[in-house]
């Protein structure tokens, strides 16, 4: 706790259109004092999620928006450095919602993301990626909403991202044929050579709808969508009878100043008697432990591969967040801000 300083990044303005670095403000404050039942966490790694763009809007949603002047909300991994709590002790590595700051005093009972200890032997970053909310989102979105059956064709947009890549690999575990849509030849090569996808479409250099027509001759049984917009519309043109469209995210639309029109191929949902369903992973919180046990088994067995894109430097927090929206990140976007102090 050198210099008794807590660096923070606050939400300064609500973004109009594309989020900018100037939408955030830097501040230094005192390290918080502990109350009975609390412990102090030194933040080490910060996780970045596309959903954070939605938290910046002053609109009702599944969680309250971040208010102007508040520390920007974000998942993180840290180490307990002081404690007045019966369970969390100095030296424990933990993950939870710690925000864009160096230190956080907490009781550990955050409604959105209760603080959990990291099991010995795990890497410090894995609870923020494949064994965190991204892996859980892929798990419940594909298995509970998509309900895959062996032999079906599954298409995943944003397939090289932290959620899409895991969703596609779970579909392979369930004996499906899997096609990923991603941006750039490097990402597409990783999907087919490392992650085991059957094919990949580079939306930056290929016509997505044409490629889907060639690759999905019997239609798409499950479309796991992280992108929305034109790619969602292209997939809807090729859905099979009784298809399931899993609405996980719409990163192509998060920075729009005015909402885009709905998909032109919407009527195909009716014609094919398909189902389009959105979900929020927090709704599945009572089942997180069971899901993490199964995910851990798949990762340990080498059935799920994952990538982490780790930047460094507290001063780079806003810049790293923006990487999500220009496609610079390859895998889970993380930022290291400190080494363990104890």
Q: Would you kindly state where each structural domain of the chain is located, as residue ranges? A: 2-129+307-336, 133-282
List Cβ neighbours of 109 (8 Å cut-off, separation of 6 or more). Answer: 115
Say yes or no to pLDDT of 139 above 60: yes
Per-residue b or e along 242-266, where b marks 16 or more CB atoms closer than 10 Å to that residue's CB: ebbbbbbbbbbebeeeeeeeebebe
Rg (CA), the chain: 20
User: Rounded distance, CA 73 to CA 56, Å?
Assistant: 9
Give me the pLDDT at residue 3, please: 62
Give the pLDDT band of residue 333 (cuts 50, 70, 90): very high
Question: Percentage of the chain surpassing pLDDT 90?
Answer: 86
Residue 82 or 329, more confident: 82
What's the mean pLDDT in 201-224?
97
Give me the pLDDT at residue 2, please: 46
User: Rounded distance, CA 129 to CA 182, Å?
Assistant: 18
Say yes or no to pLDDT of 326 above 70: yes
What's the mean pLDDT in 134-152?
98
Say yes or no to pLDDT of 265 above 70: yes
What's the mean pLDDT in 199-226?
97
Instruction: Indicate if 133-282 has the same CATH topology as 2-129+307-336.
Output: no
Q: What is the pLDDT of residues 101-116, one digit of tens each?
A: 999 999 998 767 889 9
List Cβ neighbours of 98 (8 Å cut-off, separation of 6 or more). Answer: 41, 43, 46, 74, 75, 76, 78, 104, 106
User: Rounded distance, CA 103 to CA 59, Å?
Assistant: 28
Domain 133-282 has CATH 3.40.50.720: yes
Question: Percentage of the chain surpassing pLDDT 70?
Answer: 99
**115-122, long-range: CB within 8 Å, 24+ apart, which pairs?**
115/41, 115/88, 117/88, 117/92, 117/93, 118/77, 118/93, 118/94
Q: What is the pLDDT of residues 69-87, one digit of tens each?
A: 999 999 999 999 999 999 9
Domain 2-129+307-336 has CATH 3.90.180.10: yes
Secondary structure (DSSP) of 244-300: EEEE---GGGTT-SSPPPPPTTTHHHHHTT-EEEE--GGGGGGGHHHHHHHHHHHHH
Average confidence score pLDDT of the chain: 94
Give me the pLDDT at residue 328, please: 87
Say yes or no to pLDDT of 1 above 50: no
The answer to whether the CB of 73 falls within 8 A of the CB of 99 is: yes
3-class state of residue 7 by DSSP: strand
Q: How far is CA 182 from CA 90, 133, 206, 230, 308, in A?
A: 42, 21, 10, 13, 16
């Amino acid at each position: 706790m050198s210099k008794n300083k807590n660096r923070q990044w606050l939400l300064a303005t609500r973004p109009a259109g594309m989020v900018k670095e100037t939408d955030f403000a830097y501040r230094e404050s005192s390290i918080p004092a502990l109350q009975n039942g609390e412990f102090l966490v030194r933040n080490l790694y910060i996780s970045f999620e596309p959903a954070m763009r939605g938290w910046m809007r002053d609109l009702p949603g599944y969680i309250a928006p971040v208010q102007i002047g508040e520390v920007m909300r974000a998942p993180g991994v840290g180490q307990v450095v002081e404690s007045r709590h019966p369970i969390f002790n100095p030296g424990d590595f933990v993950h939870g919602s710690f925000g864009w700051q160096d230190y956080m005093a907490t009781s550990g009972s955050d409604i959105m993301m209760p603080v959990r200890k990291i099991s010995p032997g795990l890497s410090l970053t894995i609870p923020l990626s494949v064994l965190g909310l991204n892996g859980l989102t892929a798990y419940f979105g594909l298995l509970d909403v998509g309900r895959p059956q062996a032999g079906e064709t599954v298409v995943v947009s944003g397939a090289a991202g932290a959620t899409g890549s895991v969703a596609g690999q779970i579909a392979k575990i369930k004996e499906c044929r899997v096609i990923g849509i991603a941006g750039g030849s490097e990402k597409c090569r990783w999907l087919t050579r490392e992650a085991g996808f059957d094919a990949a479409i580079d939306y930056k250099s290929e016509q997505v709808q044409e490629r889907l027509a060639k690759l999905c001759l019997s239609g798409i049984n499950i479309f796991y969508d992280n992108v929305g917009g034109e790619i969602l519309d292209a997939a809807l043109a090729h859905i099979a009878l009784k298809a399931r469209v899993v609405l996980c995210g719409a990163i192509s639309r998060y920075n729009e100043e005015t909402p885009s029109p709905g998909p032109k191929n919407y009527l195909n949902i009716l014609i094919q008697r398909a189902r389009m369903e959105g979900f929020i992973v927090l709704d599945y919180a009572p089942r997180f432990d069971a899901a993490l046990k199964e995910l851990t088994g798949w990762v340990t067995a080498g059935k799920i591969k994952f990538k982490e894109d780790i930047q460094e430097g507290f001063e780079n927090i806003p810049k790293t967040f923006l990487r999500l929206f220009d496609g610079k990140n390859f895998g889970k976007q993380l930022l290291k801000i400190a080494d363990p102090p104890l």
